[in-house]
Chain A
Amino acid sequence: GAGVSQSPSNKVTEKGKDVELRCDPISGHTALYWYRQSLGQGLEFLIYFQGNSAPDKSGLPSDRFSAERTGGSVSTLTIQRTQQEDSAVYLCASSLEFSPSGQEAFFGQGTRLTVV
């Protein structure tokens, strides 16, 4: 597609339920990032995928969070047994691994997750 696409745009879930957030990166982009942005805060790094390398999961806040990237393209971020503190905007971005013009990460519009 023309840009990074995230779905759903908004998600309201009950505490304790599992949720899946989807990210479709720009075609051909090998790098994919997930970030969490709490209300009025900066971007907290969650996980990074680069090609076929093992993902960098160092930012995942707990074992309730997991992510996968199938076929080097679409990624799903799963949050199990959601808690109210998981409420935030989840942003996905993608980029080329190497670009003569300089790397740039392109962002989706995010998924606003509300846990009630």
Chain B
Amino acid sequence: AQTVTQSQPEMSVQEAETVTLSCTYDTSENNYYLFWYKQPPSRQMILVIRQEAYKQQNATENRFSVNFQKAAKSFSLKISDSQLGDTAMYFCAFMSHGGSQGNLIFGKGTKLSVKP
């Protein structure tokens, strides 16, 4: 069974600084998707960034980028130029590539606080 581990329950960063959130996962599959979701206090889950496992290039979305290490089963999120609005829970998630194994599995989350 797939598992997702986020080893940092809480982190804080100064505004405009860079922070990296860690995520590791365990799977025997070769094709899958990885995601980072943001959950602000409004509790709406918002997709931040996604990575297809077959792509070697790390995904980037504006200030957000990932370091995807397939062999190490690691998928960290880097937030550059942190903003106060980045304060939220961040969840790493794994999804199998279609078919009957489509369960979306989440880590326990990292609470990120951006301080002015």
Q: Mark A51-63, 1 if CB is under 8 A from B, else 0.
A: 0010010000000
Question: Is the CB–CB distance between B33 and A103 below 8 Å?
Answer: yes
> In the complex the two chains form, is B109's CB within 8 Å of A42's CB?
yes
Binds B, one of A19-27, A68-76, A91-99: A91-99
Q: Mark contacts of B1-42 with chain A using CB atoms, 8 A cut-off: 1 yes-contact digit, 0 otherwise.
A: 000000000000000000000000000000001010100001
Shortest beta-carbon contacts, A-B, top 3: A42-B108, A107-B45, A43-B106
Bound-state CA distance A97–B13 (Å) is 37
For B102, the chain A residues whose CB sits under 8 A away are: 31, 48, 50, 95, 97, 103
A48 and B108 contact, Cβ closer than 8 Å, known pairs A97-B98, A104-B47, A107-B45:
no
A56 CA / B45 CA spacing, docked (Å)? 22
Interface size class, chain B? 20 to 34
Q: List 9 A-B contacts (CB under 8 A).
A: A42-B107, A56-B103, A89-B43, A93-B104, A102-B33, A103-B98, A104-B35, A105-B93, A109-B44
- A43, A89, A110: the one contacting B91 at CB < 8 Å is A43
CB <8 Å contact, A93 and B108: no
- Contact residue among A50, A91, A102, A103 (Cβ-Cβ distance under 8 Å from B45): A91
Minimum C-beta distance from B32 to chain A (A): 10
What's the Cα separation between A105 and B45 when bound, in Å? Answer: 9
Q: Mark B82-116, 1 if CB is under 8 A from A, else 0.
A: 00000000010101001010111111110000000
Indicate if the CB atoms of A48 and B103 lie closer than 8 Å. Answer: yes
Taking CB as reference atom, which chain A residue is nearest B96?
A: A103
Does A105 lie within 8 Å of B100, measured CB to CB? no
B43 touches A109 (CB 8 A): yes
- In the complex, which residues 6-28 of chain A have their Cβ closer than 8 Å to any Cβ of chain B? none
By the criterion CB–CB under 8 Å, are A102 and B52 in contact? yes
Q: CA A42 – CA B44 in complex, angstroms?
A: 13
B101: nearest chain-A partner, CB-CB: A56
| Given A102-B33, A104-B35, A105-B95, CB of A41 within 8 Å of CB of B108 | yes
Look across to chain B and name the residue whose beta carbon is closest to the beta carbon of A35: B106
